[in-house]
């Protein structure tokens, strides 16, 4: 989850507009990928138990 | 003398007869439908000279008069401006408006690095896993309490009886103030914006809320409880408490923006559904459609039609030169109704594809901090309506709902008839 805005990355959906195909595991997302909601970096994401 | 929480009272406006809600309508404007004009602008280009407010309102903007202003139109141009916060900043664009209404340290006025630092703390209190827990404890009791007052009547104005109140009352519960103060809080929260139409009651409201929250924060630091203010007042950032002015300005904005936007969004959602009875019937039959109905309402009528940024250097978008100092009127409503992104964009259609992200909560570093709470509130509200009001339909003997306004849009009334479940 992005700690700057609360966006949740879901592997099954990916982020096609950001160049991340559906099914991409979190660890395979490039370090320069940006949160599609707020533009925060990958380092701003934490794993959160829902 | 030590103040106890129960002794804290918000001071009313000096002129008790002043009707803040009537003046609020001046700010909202009386335009029924700004979209034909927005579509015409989009045909002219993605960046054109103009002032959004002046196109729709006869009340002059007292703050941003001399700045060169541009309308930012369409999904791609809106994205380009809002995702480049290093060039298109908030401070210069908001200090004379939101900076005056809520205070110069409010998140919406700040830019990086302060915005990034403080936003993370506030957002933490409003993450989906946090606000999800408020559904049962805070949101539902407010909804039930309000609905109980009109369910036996078999008819209601869903705006005045319901949507206009519940998001505000949820905030009052979050900060744990006595519900007997609700009417004054609601009035003062709305009155804060009236500086925008030159009313002195705007500044008076801002000052009185500031005085109240200063005392409340001090009290909650001394005697913390389980409420939101206690949490924010005692949270530490690098070993220090959140600065008091940052917290007070946030609370002032929360009182207004947290209530006003959800009230309007829920009102538009219900209007969209009840004027399209087939779609209402569909969610009645299958409640898993509720999230997409909420997204469609937020796309169709975003809670704020426009947001502002200032170019802090000479730049260019889509071949149009933007000079340093230009005030960008970023029309979120145009992004959400961009025919290049959304087929038949003016139609309310809960079944449309959600592949393209709408900008109902904006996009970029200033994306709505309360969006997850708004979704919880709207989901609970529509479920409560489905649970308790059967055979719900527009009242055929009263005027149908009409969504009006140019920046903050919603219907004034939504008259319905129903059977109590």
pLDDT, tens digit, for every residue of A11-43? 999 999 999 999 999 999 999 999 999 999 999
Q: Which residues of A touch B120 (CB under 8 A)?
A: 3-4, 44
Tell me whether residues B357 and A50 touch, CB distance under 8 A: no
Inspect the interface and report whether the beta carbons of A1 and B127 lie closer than 8 Å: yes
End-to-end CA distance of chain B: 52
A39–B364 C-beta distance less than 8 A? yes
pLDDT, residue B3, reads: 45
Residue numbers of B between 327 and 366 with CB closer than 8 Å to A: 355, 357, 363-366
Contacts of range B226-233, beta carbons closer than 8 Å, 24 or more positions apart: B227/B174, B227/B175, B227/B176, B228/B125, B228/B174, B228/B175, B228/B176, B229/B175, B229/B176, B231/B125, B232/B121, B232/B122, B232/B125
Q: How many CB pairs under 8 A join A and B?
A: 46
Alpha-helix residue ranges (DSSP H) falling in B109-243: 114-124, 128-131, 134, 140-148, 166-174, 182-191, 200-222, 228-234
Report the residue of B82, B90, B114, B127 to disrupt the A interface, i.e. the one with the largest count of A CBs within 10 Å. Answer: B127
Chain A contact set for B357 (CB, 8 A): 17, 36-37
Chain A contact set for B366 (CB, 8 A):
38
B383 touches chain A (CB under 8 A): no
Residue ranges of chain B whose pLDDT lies below 70? 1-7, 24-30
Each residue of B301-315: pLDDT tens digit?
Answer: 999 999 999 999 999
Nearest to B238, CA basis, from B118, B106, B366: B118
Over the stretch B223-262, which tens digit does the pLDDT of each residue have? 998 889 999 999 887 788 899 999 999 999 999 888 989 9
Q: What ipTM was estimated for this complex?
A: 0.88
- Give the C-alpha separation, B373 to B356, whole Å: 22
Classify strands B403-404 and B320-322 as parallel, antiparallel or unpaired: unpaired
Is residue B131 within 8 A of residue B373, CB to CB? The reply is: yes
- The nearest CA of chain B is from the CA of A17 a distance in Å of 9
pLDDT at residue B26, rounded to an integer: 67
The CA dihedral of B386, B389, B391, B396, to the nearest 10 degrees, is -120
């Amino acid at each position: 989850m992005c700690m700057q805005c609360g966006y949740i990355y879901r592997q099954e959906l990916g982020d096609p507009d950001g160049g991340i195909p559906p099914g991409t595991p979190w660890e395979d997302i490039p370090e320069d990928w940006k949160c599609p909601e707020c533009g925060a970096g990958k380092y701003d994401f934490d794993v959160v138990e829902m | 003398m030590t103040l106890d929480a129960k002794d804290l009272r918000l001071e009313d406006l000096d002129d008790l007869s002043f009707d803040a809600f009537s003046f609020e309508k001046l700010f909202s404007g009386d335009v029924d439908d700004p979209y034909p004009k927005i579509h015409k602008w989009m045909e002219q280009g993605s960046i054109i000279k103009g002032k959004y407010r002046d196109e729709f309102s006869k009340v002059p903007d007292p703050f941003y008069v001399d700045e060169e202003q541009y309308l930012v139109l369409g999904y791609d141009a809106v994205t380009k401006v809002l995702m480049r916060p290093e060039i298109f900043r908030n401070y210069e664009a908001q200090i004379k408006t939101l900076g005056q209404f809520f205070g110069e340290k409010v998140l919406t006025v700040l830019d990086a690095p302060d915005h990034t630092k403080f936003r993370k703390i506030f957002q933490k209190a409003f993450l989906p896993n946090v606000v999800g827990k408020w559904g049962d404890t805070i949101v539902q009791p407010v909804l039930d309490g309000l609905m109980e007052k009109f369910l036996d009547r078999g008819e209601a104005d869903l705006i005045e009886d319901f949507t206009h109140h519940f998001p505000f009352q949820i905030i009052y519960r979050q900060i744990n103030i006595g519900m007997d103060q609700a009417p004054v809080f609601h009035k003062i929260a709305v009155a804060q914006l009236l500086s925008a139409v030159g009313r002195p009651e705007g500044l008076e409201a801002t000052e009185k809320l500031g005085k109240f929250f200063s005392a409340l924060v001090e009290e909650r630091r001394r005697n913390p409880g389980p409420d939101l203010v206690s949490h924010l007042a005692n949270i530490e950032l690098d070993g220090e408490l959140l600065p008091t002015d940052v917290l007070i300005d946030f609370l002032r904005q929360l009182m207004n923006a947290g209530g006003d936007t959800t009230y309007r969004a829920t009102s538009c959602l219900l209007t969209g559904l009840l004027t399209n009875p087939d779609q209402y019937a569909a969610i009645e039959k299958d409640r898993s459609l509720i999230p997409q109905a909420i997204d469609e309402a937020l796309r169709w009528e975003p809670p704020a039609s426009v947001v502002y940024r200032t170019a802090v250097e000479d730049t260019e978008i889509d071949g149009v030169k933007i000079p340093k100092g230009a005030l960008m009127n970023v029309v979120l409503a145009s992004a959400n109704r961009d025919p290049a992104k959304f087929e038949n964009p003016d139609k309310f259609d809960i079944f449309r594809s959600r592949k393209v992200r709408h900008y109902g909560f904006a996009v970029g570093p200033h994306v709505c901090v309360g969006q997850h709470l708004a979704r919880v509130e709207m989901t609970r509200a529509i479920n409560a309506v489905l649970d308790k009001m059967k055979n719900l339909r527009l009242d055929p003997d009263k005027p149908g709902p009409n969504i009006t306004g140019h920046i903050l849009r919603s219907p004034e009334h939504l008259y319905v008839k129903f059977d109590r479940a």
